[in-house]
Amino acid sequence: MSSPEDLQWIAVVPSVELLPDKPHEVLIGENIFVLIRHGETIGAYQGQCPHQFARLVEGRVADGHINCPRHMAKFRLSDGICGPGWALPPLRRYTVKEDGGMVHICLQAIVDD
């Protein structure tokens, strides 16, 4: 397993532009990510819903979840798990840090134990 110092970080957005509970989309290469500042934390997730690939940047954040804009599946921000009534995989999550006024993400997805 890599230590945090070994990870490759990519600066993606100024911290001040990441508004509370307002999803922010980032394109890196051909991959879409969505960043969400919620309370004291920032999460980075795959940017498209695992159901039919709706862009989660158009979703609504409520009660600690991001709600997909198309069919309203909801995913818990803390771990990406999909809410009841769906059999979808959790959202892939990525490590985030703030440094020098920028939000950085690591493209190595978080793998839960």
Nearer to ligand FES, 43 or 50 (CB): 50
Residue of 22, 55, 60, 70 interacting with ligand FES (CB under 6 A): 70
Report the b/e string of 20-55 with b at 16+ CB within 10 A.
eeebbbbeeeeebbbbbbbeeebbbbbbbbbeeebb
DSSP-assigned letter for residue 91: P
Question: Which among 22, 1, 10 is positioned nearest to 94, based on CA atoms?
Answer: 10
Binding track, positions 35-64, relative to ligand FES; x by CB under 6 A: --------------x-xx-x----------
- Contact segment (CB under 6 A) with ligand FES among 17-25, 29-37, 68-76, 102-110 equals 68-76
List contacts with ligand FES (CB under 6 A): 49, 51-52, 54, 68, 70-71, 73
